Structure 1
């Protein structure tokens, strides 16, 4: 199988379809499925912008991005907390400057 510019999209569509089928047949992938819809909206929005349908593309990108941002808010909060801790430790280790 040769990879061309449409192979990535085809593989992504196959993956999304397989996830939906697994969920319908009882192999619960609920946590993964909750990210499928916003990622698909972002992908369709990007495709719309790329193909000249900028209004609907940007609307889908914005809505998908907001939904995904809400779903990732817990991870973003953890990353922010870790960043604050690392910054605080770096401030404590920094030698005070003498004026």
Structure 2
């Protein structure tokens, strides 16, 4: 793909995003996450091309930007584990009760 086609595709995507925003569909969280992932990727590429300081800085910024999304996933995992543990405790047959 040459430069003009890539720019045209980029402009079409940007226009589509603006149209979605006009109709009340906001995708800011998606683009924030994609931007953070892109920064981590750029950091890895820089690290592998022996630019370790720049790679570490860019990758670190990307990871810091991803922390809020990762915290939600971690909390979801903890909630699922608690639910499974609670259900297993309810279903467990306790015949050794000493009341």
Please indicate, yes or no, whether the TM-score normalized by the shorter chain is above 0.5: yes
1:39: how far off? 1.0
In the TM superposition, residue 22 of structure 1 has moved relative to its aligned partner by 4.5
Match of residue 65 from structure 1 = 63
2:18 — aligned with what? 25
**CA drift at 1:24:** 5.1
> TM-score, normalization: structure 2?
0.60
Report how far residue 93 of structure 1 moved. Answer: 5.0
Please say which structure displays the higher CA radius of gyration.
2
Report how many aligned residue pairs link the two structures: 83
Aligned mates of 2:41, 2:12 — CA distance in 1: 17
Return 5+ residue gaps in structure 1 as ranges: 1-16
TM-score, with length taken from structure 1: 0.60
